[in-house]
Amino acid sequence: MNKITAILLGAGDRGARAYGPYAINFPHELQIIAVAEPNEERRVSFMQDHGIPESMAFIDWKDVLNKPKMADVMIICTMDRMHYEPTLKALDLGYHVLLEKPMSPEPRECIEMELAAKRNNRLLIIGHVLRYTSYWSTIKRFLDEGRIGQIASIQLNENVEHMHMSHSFVRGNWNNSDVSSPMILQKSCHDMDVLSWLMNQPCMRISSYGSLMHFNEKNAPEGAPLRCLDGCPVESTCPYHAARYYLGEGKGWARKFTLDNSREGILEALQTNSYGRCVYHSDNNVVDHQVASMEFADGATATFSMCGFTHNQTRTVQIMGTKGEIRGDMENNSFTIYDFLTKEQQTIKVNPGTFGHGGGDEGIVRTFLKEVREYVGGEGLTSASASVRSHLMAFAAEESRLNNGKAIEIDAYYRSFIPEGAV
């Protein structure tokens, strides 16, 4: 097996903790030889973990991509609005690219990246890790085998979980679409991708509703300060109090904003960073709940619901076919198939693996490396071409939400973004 060499752009949570560990666990398959990360603490930590010399550690991704090609692949885990430029440059230099989702908050940039991959005859694989999990890939296999006949409708629910909502989408990196992405793109492009994959046909139109209902100033308790540590009068009754959460059950989440996981280190971080802010006095603007309705090419329909107000973090699904039905809960790693003719039901329990996203984080890296080794042209499982289609579902859903639920025709929406002269 030929070892693949890689460069990582962005050593934050996804780069360092989702994809980076594969090189440590399987050093005969992958070696990360260089890293670009503006945060010195993260950069140094990643260098130490992977034995990267000072000469191959960079502050700015541009310093890497201004050099001739140095490795086989580029893993890009920069922030959402910093995906477009490095991806185009890496493809032009001849790198195969694994790009964290979403591709870009701009539809036109997504399409241009897809075209660049085709122009350069390179793989551009998007981090839709759910396709690589045992859970969703087993469901997909049963659907392809015709176990429930033709799909008539799918209901997919994403339970974000209330503290994950407050951490990532109220206080955290993805709380404001002006600097990151709309919620349905950043968090739920996974779900749009899963729906597109399971249906295995184009989505024709979509409509959507949702809002930022709760996490705003009008719901701030009387006397609540801007930061939780500044003497909040409702500390004992607020489920979102930062210190109680990050020093208690959420201590593992604190690793995402400080490498000093001691009590003192966490408290110091909460006094200065955004994770110590009151959830009602933040600069967030993304929705805390949203629903979308879709119609597909053969008339099948799907509904999707994302909500930040749940006690657990999971996805539940109901797939209704002409011969049977599938119902499942990803948190339980199981789903049940019901046969209309025999009245039999079979519960399938899958192995979630030991890595993040139900094994999907490890699965996507393993598959990407295999696709690179065997590459003779063509597309990967979560190629840019497949991802653009599901990304457009998310973009169109947000367009609909902002226009009072107006139905958006996907094909016309796509054509409006195709660069002039592109085929």
Per-residue pLDDT tens over the stretch 80-89:
999 999 999 9
Taking the CA atoms of 353, 354, 356 and 361 in sequence, report the sign of the dihedral they define: negative
pLDDT score for 35: 98
- Provide the residue type at 380 as one letter: G
What span, in angstroms and rounded, lies between the C-alpha atoms of 209 and 400?
7
Per-residue pLDDT tens over the stretch 309-329:
999 999 999 999 999 999 999
pLDDT score for 259: 86
pLDDT score for 353: 74
- Residue 355, pLDDT > 80, answer no
What span, in angstroms and rounded, lies between the C-alpha atoms of 206 and 307?
18
**Residue 341: both structure tokens together:** 């003719």
- CB of 227 closer than 8 Å to CB of 282: no
pTM of the model: 0.93
pLDDT score for 422: 60
User: Taking residues 266-279, what's their average pLDDT?
Assistant: 96
Strand 408-409 versus strand 30-36 pairing type: unpaired
- Residue 419, pLDDT > 90, answer no
Residue 358: pLDDT band with limits 50, 70, 90 = confident
| Residue with the larger pLDDT of the pair 355 and 293 | 293
- Burial code (b: 16+ CB inside 10 Å, e: under 16) for 164-187 equals bbbbbbbbbbbbbbeebbbbbbbb
- CB of 251 closer than 8 Å to CB of 261: yes
What is the average pLDDT score of the chain? Answer: 95
- Residue 229, pLDDT > 80, answer yes
Residue 352: pLDDT band with limits 50, 70, 90 = confident
**Nearest residue to 10 via CA among 103, 77, 56:** 77
- Residue 63, pLDDT > 80, answer yes
Residue 357: pLDDT band with limits 50, 70, 90 = confident
Considering the domain delimited by 4-130, tell me its CATH architecture.
3-Layer(aba) Sandwich (3.40)
User: Taking residues 418-423, what's their average pLDDT?
Assistant: 66
What span, in angstroms and rounded, lies between the C-alpha atoms of 355 and 358?
6
- CB of 290 closer than 8 Å to CB of 189: no
- Burial code (b: 16+ CB inside 10 Å, e: under 16) for 57-68 equals bbeebeebbeee
Per-residue pLDDT tens over the stretch 379-396:
999 999 999 999 999 999
- CB of 7 closer than 8 Å to CB of 76: no
SS3 94: coil
- CB of 410 closer than 8 Å to CB of 393: yes
Q: Which residues contact 370 (CB under 8 A, 6 or more apart)?
A: none
Q: How far is CA 345 from the centre of its chain?
A: 32
Q: Which residues contact 62 (CB under 8 A, 6 or more apart)?
A: 86
Per-residue pLDDT tens over the stretch 166-212:
999 999 999 999 999 999 999 999 999 999 999 999 999 999 999 99
**Nearest residue to 51 via CA among 97, 5, 100:** 5
All structural domains of the chain with their residue ranges: 4-130, 131-215+285-415, 217-276
Q: How far is CA 163 from the centre of its chain?
A: 17
- Residue 1, pLDDT > 80, answer no
Percent of the chain with pLDDT strictly greater than 70:
99
- Residue 423, pLDDT > 60, answer no
Residue 421: pLDDT band with limits 50, 70, 90 = low
Is 131-215+285-415 in the same CATH topology as 4-130? Answer: no
Q: Which residues contact 361 (CB under 8 A, 6 or more apart)?
A: 18, 19, 129, 355
Lowest mean pLDDT among 39-43, 48-52, 256-260, 366-370: 256-260
**Nearest residue to 61 via CA among 37, 95, 97, 31:** 37
Considering the domain delimited by 131-215+285-415, tell me its CATH architecture.
2-Layer Sandwich (3.30)
- Residue 354, pLDDT > 80, answer no
Percent of the chain with pLDDT strictly greater than 90:
94
The DSSP H or E segment spanning 384 is helix 384-401
- Provide the residue type at 76 as one letter: I
**Residue 214: both structure tokens together:** 């709760």
The count of other CB atoms within 10 Å of the CB of residue 134 is 18
